[in-house]
Structure 1
């Protein structure tokens, strides 16, 4: 049987993503966001953005 492959692009805002999460998924996302590795990455991005504001 022939196969059909199609690529789709779907744009979802962070707010739409969070609203679509179940309670369990939201809890798992919270745990991930509070992990040391993710917190470090977020702080690094915030620091870079703050440095760029001072141009």
Structure 2
């Protein structure tokens, strides 16, 4: 999948969140748009594990 992309554009790693985003959890708006600030706060540890600070 990554072969056609240049090195900076390639996915190096990924992770799945343990539960789907939902309106009830506050991670989605009623029109099903992601509330990025809420999702980023809730899954900060997961993001930090993918992108460690040098």
TM-score class normalised by the smaller sequence: under 0.3
Q: TM-score, structure 2 length as denominator?
A: 0.25
Structure with bigger RCO (C-alpha 8 Å, 6+ apart)? 2
Give the structure with the larger helix fraction: 1
Larger radius of gyration between Structure 1 and Structure 2: 1
